[in-house]
Structure 1
Amino acid sequence: MVNLRGDQAAGLRRLFSRPRLRIVTFAAGGVGVGKSIAVANLAACLARQGKEVLVVDENTDDSVAAYYGVPVRHDLQQVVHREKSLAEVILSVAPGVRVLPAAKVVKRLASLSAAEQRILVDSLGHIGRPADVVLVDASLDHPLGFSPLGLAAHDTVIVVSPNGAAITDAYALIKKVSLGYSRKNFRILVSKARAASDAQAVYDNIAEVAHSRQLARLDYAGHVPLDESLRQASRLCQPVAGLFPDAPSARAYQSLASALLNWPNGDVDVRGLEHFVQQLLHLSQRLDPTAIYA
């Protein structure tokens, strides 16, 4: 089993020194389920509740910053290579919401040298305002089959839409991560649901199979209804809660934001980002990709 504990995260303790830090990874088994849209809107709702949000974005296309209409020109990898400063890479996309593009560096964490690791730690340690919540928008095509950053988070939320292919993909992802990484707890967020009952049925279906095969324990994070207001807000590059606060999807994201802040932390230290940073510096170098693809 992978050991998530290590000793090289001291440089980032200042960054995440506030109590009640929350780290949540959002993942999906396939494209088109609304994962990045969910992260972007959830970040906005958390900021509206007075939280400082940092989104670590592993995606090249359909990035969270692009959802806000902000172009992504750089990547955290350029900080590691000393080509850019962190201030040039990190993006303030809305009040209380910053996005850290990390698509390139996340895919080569296993090959970072000791010197590059120190640069990463030192740079992030001087990011400025500490975050209350870190949302990881996980890539679908990580070389290991699943983003290693998700394993150190307090919670991994699997986003699924109510169609057969998406449900199959979500279950396959849970199975891979459970068997390969021994991650046994996930939350399910159903997006694009026509009715609450449809979303509940999707969750019940996946949870029953995961339980019967002793793969994982699943918790229901809720659902985001199919909503024309959300589509319109997305076209305008704005969070739906800002443009249409009474829309069904806006209420759903606001409810999810409030619930997320009260999810139990389990045995994860809430006073620092040590586990998350250890993923960056250690975990990807110690994982065996054979298991995850088995």
Structure 2
Amino acid sequence: MAKQVTDQAEGLRRLLAKSGSRVVAVTGGPVGVGCTSTVVNLAAALAMLGKDVLVIDERLGVNAVSSMLGGAHGAGSVRAVLNGEVELEQACARHELGFSVLAASRENCAGFTAAQLGRLLAGPADVVLVDARLERGGALSPLAAQAHDVLIVTRVAAQAITEAYACMKRLHFEHAIAQFRVLVNHVSSLADAQTTFENLAEVAARYLTVSIEEAGCVAADPLMERSLELGRCVVDAFPSAQSARDYRHVASEMLYWPMRPAMSSPRQDAAVRTAMPASALADALVARQHA
């Protein structure tokens, strides 16, 4: 209890003093769970709360933030920032909703040290959201690995939950991450979201010995799909939609997450992998759903 109070007090002190950015890496299991749309909507919601927000986009092509959201074109020259040729603020594209976007693919960040990459995270922003693209082995980039929190996005479906567990398993062994935050996306009811979270948390605690914190949930909403068709985020296009209200709630709660130390770089030692196989997890989740 004392440690929890200390963590909360430290988080509030840093928030009020604006000393350092909160860095959150957002990722998940399969394509389609909504990681990039989560990043965009949280960025917009945080900007509406008066926060200075930087989105670091590790994705390429149609999956990039700039491709999903109009008004964020020209988000780049991360290599020039890392080389010290331009300031971070000059390289970022400023979106009309009030947040900045910097394209930082693995290819453009290759060859730089963790300390050099940390320059992107040490700027004036209150919150840095990294739309993290995982390596084939499931590891975070050296940039995203410096985040304070990893937010796993999943959906209410056995396959998505299984993939989220597999994602956490790989990240746990690669980076020794002891805690994840989980956002359940596209939910039909709060009860479904709660059941999904509890199932995932229990299995992860039992077989990975990691803790999972509930980040919230976002309703299944046809206006979300419509906002994407318009090249906008639902928080801006349809602010009264349930999904928009959900994103605003998650964003406001994020500001009070206890500030934790940044994660370490990938582990070099071989871990003993005794975690539950993904196939067994799927069976366990199905069994719990029908219990």
TM-score tier (shorter):
0.7 to 0.9
**Residue 184 (structure 2) aligned to one of 190, 194, 198:** 190
Q: Distance in 2 between matches of 1:125 and 1:42?
A: 18
Question: Residue 139 of structure 2 contacts residue 174 of structure 2 at CA under 8 Å; is this kept in 1?
Answer: no
Is the aligned partner of 1:132 residue 2:126?
Answer: yes
AA paired with 1:250? A
* Higher normalized contact order (CA 8 Å, seq sep 6+, divided by chain length): 1
User: Any idea what the Cα deviations from partners look like across 1:190-225, whole Å, max 9, x if unmatched?
Assistant: 111122111111111110101112431001111111
Cα distance change of structure 1 residues 256 and 63 upon mapping to structure 2, 3 Å threshold: same
Q: What SS does structure 2 have at the residue aligned with 1:140?
A: coil
Question: Residue 79 of structure 2 contacts residue 109 of structure 2 at CA under 8 Å; is this kept in 1?
Answer: no
User: Any idea what the Cα deviations from partners look like across 1:160-200, whole Å, max 9, x if unmatched?
Assistant: 01122211111011111223321110011011112211111
Q: Distance in 2 between matches of 1:244 and 1:158?
A: 25
Cα distance change of structure 1 residues 73 and 243 upon mapping to structure 2, 3 Å threshold: closer
Question: Residue 181 of structure 1 contacts residue 292 of structure 1 at CA under 8 Å; is this kept in 2?
Answer: no
Q: Distance in 1 between matches of 2:272 and 2:49?
A: 38
Q: Which residue of 2 aligns with 1:199?
A: 193
Q: Distance in 2 between matches of 1:173 and 1:146?
A: 11
Q: Which residue of 1 aligns with 2:170?
A: 176
Question: Residue 138 of structure 2 contacts residue 170 of structure 2 at CA under 8 Å; is this kept in 1?
Answer: no
Q: Distance in 2 between matches of 1:174 and 1:29?
A: 9
Q: Distance in 1 between matches of 2:221 and 2:211?
A: 29
Q: Which residue of 1 aligns with 2:12?
A: none
Q: Distance in 2 between matches of 1:289 and 1:72?
A: 40
Question: Residue 65 of structure 1 contacts residue 91 of structure 1 at CA under 8 Å; is this kept in 2?
Answer: no
Return structure 1 stretches of 4+ with deviation > 4 angstroms: 78-88, 124-127, 289-294
Q: Which residue of 1 aligns with 2:154?
A: 160
Q: Which residue of 1 aligns with 2:268?
A: 288
**Residue 73 (structure 2) aligned to one of 46, 71, 74:** 71
Write the mapping of 1:206-245 to structure 2, written as runs, cut at 5 A.
206-245=200-239
User: Any idea what the Cα deviations from partners look like across 1:7-49, whole Å, max 9, x if unmatched?
Assistant: xxxxxxxxxx833732111111221100000000000000000
TM-score (structure 2 length as normaliser)? 0.76
Aligned length: 256
Cα distance change of structure 1 residues 150 and 202 upon mapping to structure 2, 3 Å threshold: farther
1:147 CA displacement:
3.1
Q: Distance in 2 between matches of 1:88 and 1:160?
A: 34
Q: What SS does structure 2 have at the residue aligned with 1:94?
A: coil
Q: Which runs of 5+ in 2 are unaligned?
A: 1-16, 275-291
Q: Which residue of 2 aligns with 1:94?
A: 96
The CA RMSD over aligned residues, in Å, is: 3.1
Q: Which residue of 2 aligns with 1:54?
A: 54
Q: Which runs of 5+ in 1 are unaligned?
A: 1-16, 269-274
Question: Residue 28 of structure 2 contacts residue 154 of structure 2 at CA under 8 Å; is this kept in 1?
Answer: yes
Q: After alignment, is 47-56 or 233-242 more displaced?
A: 233-242
Question: Residue 55 of structure 1 contacts residue 136 of structure 1 at CA under 8 Å; is this kept in 2?
Answer: yes
Q: Distance in 1 between matches of 2:258 and 2:182?
A: 15
Q: Distance in 2 between matches of 1:102 and 1:140?
A: 13
Question: Residue 121 of structure 2 contacts residue 128 of structure 2 at CA under 8 Å; is this kept in 1?
Answer: no
Cα distance change of structure 1 residues 46 and 121 upon mapping to structure 2, 3 Å threshold: closer
Cα distance change of structure 1 residues 179 and 140 upon mapping to structure 2, 3 Å threshold: closer
Provide the identity percentage: 35
Q: What SS does structure 2 have at the residue aligned with 1:99?
A: strand
Question: Residue 24 of structure 1 contacts residue 135 of structure 1 at CA under 8 Å; is this kept in 2?
Answer: yes
Cα distance change of structure 1 residues 245 and 87 upon mapping to structure 2, 3 Å threshold: closer
Q: Distance in 1 between matches of 2:52 and 2:20?
A: 12
User: Any idea what the Cα deviations from partners look like across 1:59-105, whole Å, max 9, x if unmatched?
Assistant: 11322222221335744135446888756642112342001110135
AA paired with 1:18? K
Is the aligned partner of 1:40 residue 2:40?
Answer: yes
Q: What SS does structure 2 have at the residue aligned with 1:26?
A: strand
